[in-house]
Chains A and B, each alone.
Chain A
Amino acid sequence: DTGVSQDPRHKITKRGQNVTFRCDPISEHNRLYWYRQTLGQGPEFLTYFQNEAQLEKSRLLSDRFSAERPKGSFSTLEIQRTEQGDSAMYLCASSSKTGGASFATNEKLFFGSGTQLSVL
């Protein structure tokens, strides 16, 4: 499978513990997005990278969340001191964006299967 892969698929943790998720995008894609999705809601933007640069981070994201993409390839999302409200599906998506600010017509987001986090 050459699509976006996420690891682990499921994570159960106790409140207060730290967790880290990994996302491997499609190899030629330079953009990588993290989203969070809770039951009955659509994906909510968390942050995105263009290559190794983190270009935007949601204002709703607390300081307990941090993401990296050190070599412009895979990315990690860490949540420190987890809370029960962090329980959600964490989705990663990648795309290939070139050129200026507008989105080119032949680009689209490719999603991973997600990591389901349960905080007890």
Chain B
Amino acid sequence: AQRVTQPEKLLSVFKGAPVELKCNYSYSGSPELFWYVQYSRQRLQLLLRHISRESIKGFTADLNKGETSFHLKKPFAQEEDSAMYYCALYTGNQFYFGTGTSLTVIP
């Protein structure tokens, strides 16, 4: 069965410190992975997707099929990065979301 696991519900880092939000998935097919973000009082929005290999707002994520992971990383956290982050797996007709990680960047 398809599953997305985000082991950390809460994560706090100091401004300027590196941050890594973990995501592991379970899927027998060819996965397409995404990170969605929800800032305070805003709607859920796409942050980045693995297939584009892009860096958005300094964030990157690499799909590791061997470890079935898609961790989100940023070398230097900023206060504006504080938000709720959801990892999502697309299987061709559905998106499966993880339970989310609430990131707080401490000034």
Contacts and interface: CB of A to CB of B under 8 A. Distances in A.
Q: Do A and B bind each other?
A: yes
A45 B92 contact: no
A109 B43 contact: no
A40 interface: yes
B90 interface: yes
B94 A43 contact: no
Chain A contact residues, majority secondary structure: loop
Contact of A108 (B43, B46, B92): B46
Contacts of B32: 102-103
Contacts of B98: 42
Interface footprint category on A: 20 to 34
A90 interface: no
B95 A109 contact: yes
Interface residues of B, number: 25
A43 B43 contact: no
A101 interface: yes
Interface stretch (A62-70, A78-86, A110-118): A110-118
Contact of B51 (A45, A56, A105, A113): A105
Contacts of A43: 44, 86, 95, 97
A42 B97 contact: yes
Given A4-B43, A43-B86, A111-B43, 6 more contacts: A48-B93, A101-B93, A103-B32, A105-B51, A108-B34, A111-B45
